[in-house]
Structure formats: structure tokens, C-alpha cells
Structure 1
Amino acid sequence: MISAISQVNGTEERIRHKLEGFQTKLSQVIERINSYDYWYIKTNHNDIKIQILQTFQVANNYIDEILNYYNGLLEVYLTKASVYSVLPPKNVSELIFSANRKMPSNIRIVQELLLDTRIVENMTHIQVHAYFPIKDITKYTLIHVTPVPKKNMNNTFESIEVSRAFLAIDYNNELYFELDHEEFKECIQRHEQFLCFPGVVKNMQLNENCIVDQLFKNQTNTKCPTHIFEMSSNIIWKQLCMQNSWLFITKLVALYP
């Protein structure tokens, strides 16, 4: 767990400097006007008006920016809104990117899972704390377990029972975890990789798993629970995890001559 702190007082300091710049420009305009004894003759009225209007617009923008920040703070404080009421997603991403660069390569802050937003205040500072989970990123081989039925002599079929359809294996450290379909949907996909959040990671040697034994230990005589079924049709199609990939089961000896 980490708090990404947004220093709103820092923003106010930046805006204060801008307002000082506005005051300087306004003073320059006034000084320019006063420098003419007959300014109404020598100076273009429209030029003076445009300069004053431009300077006023700059000040108005700064004030709007301050109001937006305070409105965001009030929204977080009164309605339990998120940090995104104060900072846009781009700024939050920049803060998290900077924090991730200071952390070990296998540790990452997960921006997609904002847990909580809180405000801490004193006489001089207002801080917005955004809480994100930290994940230990270890590379696993993610496998969609699809049992291939075996045809018995009595024309029945036998298939291994799979309680969870997805199995992730770390061969180097002999670790694994399992995911069901709902847990897999919670994984965050990045191109061809998935960022998953397993509940329990198990050791292969200390926690027996017949499917892991077949994949990792290359054991075929495992005691996996199975179920036997009969086919009422000539062929059954089963969609696999990869797009446009299927497994079919047939009770015919051959589909093609």
C-alpha cells in the first residue's frame, strides 16, 4: 500500500507567482500610460484596452484554476470522491510513473485499482492521499487448462475434472496458482500479457496438484478426478481460450476418408 501525495499548496504557490507576474504586467501598463503627458493623443486607445483585457484574462484564468482545485478538494472532503476530482488522470499517471522508477523492478503500483482517497490538513497544508495497491510482479506461464477426453473401450469418454480453468506456473521457483473464470476476468491485460491478482500462491513440492504434476513433473499416472460421459451426437465442439480456436470431440473413428 502506498499513498501518492498531491501537494495542493505547491499548486497555490505556483499560482501565487503567476498572480505576481500579472501584477507586474499590470503595473507596467499603468506606468506606460502615466509616461505620456498627453496619452490620450499619443497612445492608441484600442492598444491600451487590448493590453488591459489580455492581462485581466490571464488573471481570470489563474483564479479559475484556484477555484477548480478548491472545488475538487471540497468534493473529496464532503462526498468521498476520488483523487481524480483534484488531479486529472495524466497528472496521477506522472506521479505513479515517478514513484515506480524509484521502486525495485518487480514491484509496481497498480493505477487501475484506486483503493481510497483521503484528505490530510493542517494550518498551512492540504494534502490529498491516493491509495493504490502494490503488486509483486513475477512472471508466470499462464495456461488455460482444457482436458482432452479419452475414449474408452465401451464407447464412453473419460475426462479430467478441472475445478479452475486457469493455471499459472513459475517453473524456476516451482510456484503456481489457480484462477477461475471470474478471477481471470479481473486480470488486467497489457498486450499479450496479463496482470493477475491470485489469492494464494502455492509451492509445487508442498502442495500436490495432479494437473501441475502432469505439466511440470511430466507424470501421466496421476490420480486426477475424472468423470465419464456418453455422447448423444457425433461431434462436440468446445471453444478454447485463444480467439477462433476450438477443440472438437467425436465418437467416429475418422471424420475424413
Structure 2
Amino acid sequence: MISAISQVNGTEERIRHKLEGFQTKLSQVIERINSYDYWYIKTNHNDIKIQILQTFQVANNYIDEILNYYNGLLEVYLTKASVYSVLPPKNVSELIFSANRKMPSNIRIVQELLLDTRIVENMTHIQVHAYFPIKDITKYTLIHVTPVPKKNMNNTFESIEVSRAFLAIDYNNELYFELDHEEFKDCIQRHEQFLCFPGVVKNMQLNENCIVDQLFKNQTNTKCPTHIFEMSSNIIWKQLCMQNS
């Protein structure tokens, strides 16, 4: 979660200080003018005008800055824009870097993959919440489970029933998780890697899975649920297409 209200409050505070400084300098000028009987001779009109103009310009710049923040908040609220409408990427990077330092070493916030931006408001505050995925640096081997039917002696075929089409395995830590087609669609692809959001990560030794047993433990005699089916007699078998054939 990233809050933009602190940035806005900080800008307002700087404007207040600048305006107070402007008022102080203006009071000093008026006091000095009143202290001279012949102020129009001893006072440099150009210096006074330049000083007032410079202070006004600084205050005007800070007012423009806070207007930009409020315009960004309005844009996020009305058009579902991203957090970058309020904060520049550099500030977001600094906040994420600070958050990553407080997290376990094997977990990182991925700034490049902004998921959502939402507004939360009450009578006194407006907050912008940015949602980024949290990446576990543990790498899994993602497998698309495709059962190959086995031909039986009575011309029937037997195939393993697969409840979820995708299986991710961490061989080193003996962990795995499963994904169905809809969950796989929610994964974010970066080149040849996928950033997925598993619901449950299981231990291979504590949570038996017949497909995992075949892949990890190299067991062939597993009790995987199967279904048997017959093929039509008029099927024409054809050799698979091979390169350069």
C-alpha cells in the first residue's frame, strides 16, 4: 500500500511556510518604510519590488505543485488511473525499496507489475493505495500435465484423470502447487517465466499426489484415478508429423 496523502500534506506545509515568509518580509519592508521620514529617497524601490516578486513566484510554484497532486488524485478517482498519476516513478521506487528492506529476504515487491490502484477517503484524508504482486524468489518448474492413454489388451484405453491441468514443482524444497486453466490465465507472463498466485503450496512428503509421485519419486505403480474408454473401429492411425520427413 502506498499513500499519497503524506506527499500532499508535506506540500501544503511548505506552502504555508513560504506564505509566512512572504508575510514576514512584507512586514519588514513596511516597517522600514515607516521608519524613514524621507523613505522615498532612502529606499530602493527596485529592491523591494524584486524581493516581493521572488517570494510571490516561490509561493506560486508550490501552489502549482499541490494543484498537480490534487489533479492526480481526481484523475485516479474518476478515470481509474494508476498511482503514477500522483507520484512519479522515482518516489514509488523509493517507497517499494523501503518496504522490501522490511520484508523477508526471499520475498520482493515487483514494481514493474502494478496490479491495481484504488482510492480510500474519509472526511479528513484521501489515500491512494497501489497494489503490486509479491514475488517469492523460489523457482518452480511449471508443468502442463497431459496424460498419455495406455492401450490395454482388450483394445480399450486407460488414461489418468487430471483434476488440474498445471503442476508447479520445487524439487529442492519438495514443494508443489496446482493450477487449473482459469488460475493459469491469471499468471503474469514475463518472457519465458510466469508469475503465479497459488492458493495452497503443499509439501510432497506430507501431501500425497499420484502425479507428483510419478514425476518426483519415479513411481510407476501409483493409485491415480483413471478412466477407461474405447476407440471407434473406423479410426485411421497416422504417424505424427516429423521434421524433414
TM range (shorter): 0.5 to 0.7
| Alpha-carbon distance in structure 2 between the residues aligned to 1:134 and 1:240 | 43
Structure 1 pair 99/29, CA: closer, same or farther in 2 (3 Å)?
A: farther
| Alpha-carbon distance in structure 1 between the residues aligned to 2:228 and 2:106 | 44
1:199 deviation in Å? 0.9
More displaced, 180-189 or 31-40?
31-40
1:48 deviation in Å? 16
| Alpha-carbon distance in structure 2 between the residues aligned to 1:2 and 1:72 | 14
- State how 1:60-79 maps to structure 2 within 5 Å: 62-73=62-73
| Alpha-carbon distance in structure 2 between the residues aligned to 1:57 and 1:183 | 55
1:67 deviation in Å? 0.9
Instruction: Say if 1:7 and 1:128, in contact at 8 Å, map to a contact too.
Output: no
Tell me which residue corresponds to 1:45: 45
1:56 deviation in Å? 8.7
- Normalised TM-score (structure 1): 0.60
1:17 deviation in Å? 8.4
Instruction: Say if 1:8 and 1:127, in contact at 8 Å, map to a contact too.
Output: no
Structure 1 pair 132/232, CA: closer, same or farther in 2 (3 Å)?
A: same
Instruction: Say if 1:69 and 1:86, in contact at 8 Å, map to a contact too.
Output: yes
1:207 deviation in Å? 1.4
Q: Deviations over 1:67-104 (max 9, x none)?
A: 12124446778999864552245642442244324533
Structure 1 pair 145/206, CA: closer, same or farther in 2 (3 Å)?
A: same
Q: Deviations over 1:192-244 (max 9, x none)?
A: 22221111111212211110110111000111111223344988999999999
| Alpha-carbon distance in structure 1 between the residues aligned to 2:70 and 2:90 | 19
More displaced, 152-161 or 87-96?
87-96
Query: Which structure 2 segments of 5+ residues have no match?
Result: none
Structure 1 pair 126/210, CA: closer, same or farther in 2 (3 Å)?
A: closer
Structure 1 pair 55/222, CA: closer, same or farther in 2 (3 Å)?
A: same
**Secondary structure of the structure 2 residue equivalent to 1:74:** helix
Which structure has more strand as a fraction of its residues? 1
- Normalised TM-score (structure 2): 0.63
Q: Deviations over 1:147-186 (max 9, x none)?
A: 1222223333221111101111122222111000111111
Instruction: Say if 1:73 and 1:85, in contact at 8 Å, map to a contact too.
Output: yes
Instruction: Say if 1:144 and 1:241, in contact at 8 Å, map to a contact too.
Output: no
**Secondary structure of the structure 2 residue equivalent to 1:176:** strand
Instruction: Say if 1:19 and 1:62, in contact at 8 Å, map to a contact too.
Output: no
Instruction: Say if 1:5 and 1:130, in contact at 8 Å, map to a contact too.
Output: no
1:115 deviation in Å? 8.1
Structure 1 pair 238/215, CA: closer, same or farther in 2 (3 Å)?
A: farther
1:28 deviation in Å? 16
Instruction: Say if 1:160 and 1:226, in contact at 8 Å, map to a contact too.
Output: yes
Structure 1 pair 15/206, CA: closer, same or farther in 2 (3 Å)?
A: same
| Alpha-carbon distance in structure 1 between the residues aligned to 2:44 and 2:237 | 84
| Alpha-carbon distance in structure 2 between the residues aligned to 1:113 and 1:242 | 40
Identity within the alignment, %: 100
Instruction: Say if 1:9 and 1:125, in contact at 8 Å, map to a contact too.
Output: no
Q: Deviations over 1:100-123 (max 9, x none)?
A: 245333112255787887889999
More displaced, 65-74 or 80-89?
80-89
**Secondary structure of the structure 2 residue equivalent to 1:3:** coil
Instruction: Say if 2:22 and 2:52, in contact at 8 Å, map to a contact too.
Output: no
CA RMSD of aligned residues (A): 6.7
Instruction: Say if 1:2 and 1:134, in contact at 8 Å, map to a contact too.
Output: no
Structure 1 pair 123/208, CA: closer, same or farther in 2 (3 Å)?
A: closer
Q: Deviations over 1:3-25 (max 9, x none)?
A: 78853233445667899999999
